[in-house]
Amino acid sequence: MSIRFDDRVAIVTGAGGGLGRHYALELARRGARVVVNDLGANRSGDGASDAALTVVEEIRAAGGTAITDGGNVADHEQMTAMVARAREAWGGVHILINNAGVLRDKTFAKMTPEDFSFVVQVHLLGSAYATKACWDVFREQNYGRVLMTSSSSGLFGNFGQANYAAAKLGIVGLARTLHLEGAKHDIRVNTIAPTAGTRMTEGLFPDAAFAAFAPEKVAPAALFLVSDDAPSGQIVGAGAGVVQASYITLTPGVALTGEDLSPEGVARHWQAITDRAGEIVPGSGAEQAMLIGKTLSTSEA
């Protein structure tokens, strides 16, 4: 089976570098016409550059078709204009990869309300605005593929990233709901939690790990999740060539009655309430990368 995107129009936000660049390049290589969206800002969301144009030129040099878009994902009107441009150029939009993001890491004690709201606005509201701009098009054509970007920090928590983690777990809730709402129109919505060495994570990985977690090793999972035969409603971890499935789980629980229906009863039954019978629940975002490392070590043994 060969996965192709001929006659598909794809939008990739934050595609001027890192993961988004590789998504855009590979979509184009497999036949898609690609809108390369990027403000060209640094990882804190400041400044601007022609990063998107550079990626478009790469695509065109390889024989593909692409246009740039400098719209801000946190501005719904600009996202609406981006989709209108894509439809005017190519007649429709079929795929959206919400990849744009920023980092403003600090402990919660030192984080300003402005830094908290800015990160949530870009990641969570930006994903919602870009998807909303595409949603009616997807419904009209009874076809759409949306990939949201979460993070191990959102799924499992990570020190110094309260703003980022809050946004990234919010994205999971958004994706799960849109998966349900879009099903009857063949709109499939998935979430990827990538672990990659990019400008966003530079300085967080040792040099050797940074190379091992190259962004092109995440792209195969991302492209599968926006393909014709993609599943829907999935949360997929990907990094260093390892692809994982992540689940939000719930224990059977304990029915509390009588005197046990009290805070003291919850305390008495806590072990049974939290018994997950062998399930693993990472205590921090770093454990996703650790599990990838373990899987890699096993395969190399």
**pLDDT of 130-164, one tens digit each?**
999 999 999 999 999 999 999 999 999 999 999 99
Q: By residue range, what is the domain housing residue 281?
A: 258-300
In the Cβ-directed half-sphere of 82, how many Cα atoms lie within 13 Å? 31
- Annotated catalytic residue, options 23, 129, 143, 164: 164
Number of domains the chain contains:
2
Cβ(171)–Cβ(301) below 8 Å: no
Q: Are residues 146 and 223 in the same domain?
A: yes
Same domain flag for 206 and 268: no
Comparison of pLDDT for 275 and 55, the residue scoring more: 55
Q: Are residues 107 and 166 in the same domain?
A: yes
Element (H, E) at 69: strand 65-69
**1 inside domain:** no
**Do residues 151 and 296 share a domain?**
no
276: confidence class by pLDDT, cuts 50, 70, 90: confident
Name the pairing type of β-strands 235-239 and 242-246: antiparallel
**pLDDT (tens digit per residue) in 159-199:** 999 999 999 999 999 999 999 999 999 999 999 999 986 55
Does residue 192 fall inside a structural domain?
A: yes
- What's residue 281's pLDDT? 41
- What pTM, to 2 d.p., does this model score? 0.88
164 is catalytic: yes
